[in-house]
Amino acid sequence: MADHSPYQQKLIKRFYNNRPQIDRQRLAELVTNLYLTTGKKKQQSMWEQAAETMKRLGVPPSRIEHVLGTGDPAQLAEVVKEIEAGLHQPAQNRTDSPGGSM
């Protein structure tokens, strides 16, 4: 992160520190958007985003596969409830941030 100013470094660090909360919010928004969207291409894109977000939030791959297989936003809403209840936790010591772990 040598090419970022100290201010930018702080912003990046805060983003990755708050990533689980951001992902939970994003997943809940995707549920709403999937209910409202009618275009197949747009829905496919949203399901792909949901799969990636669930993966980051620590949802087991078998559960992700099941939810995607049904294509039902209600199933995704159930996953959101499970995440909010603390049944799924993101992996600790993630290194998906730029420059490694922060």
Residue 87 clears pLDDT 90, i.e. is over it: no
27 in a domain, yes or no? yes
Residue 99 is assigned to a structural domain of this protein: no
The pTM (predicted TM-score) of the whole model is 0.80
101 pLDDT tier (thresholds 50, 70, 90): very low
Mean pLDDT computed over 86-92: 78
Domain that residue 26 falls in: 6-84
DSSP-derived letter for residue 93 is S
In a domain, 100, yes or no: no
CA–chain centroid gap for 4, Å, is 25
The pLDDT of residue 92 is: 63
Q: Which of 24, 65, 23, 20 is nearest to 47 (CA)?
A: 65
Count of domains forming the chain: 1
* Percent of the chain residues topping a pLDDT of 90: 80
Under 8 Å between Cβ of 31 and 72: no
Q: Is the pLDDT of residue 50 over 70?
A: yes
- What does the pLDDT look like over 57-78, one tens digit per residue? 999 999 999 999 999 999 999 9
Contacts of residue 92, defined as CB under 8 A and 6 or more positions apart, other chains included, come to none
Average predicted confidence (pLDDT) for the chain: 89
Residue 98 lies in a domain: no
- Residue 28: inside a domain: yes
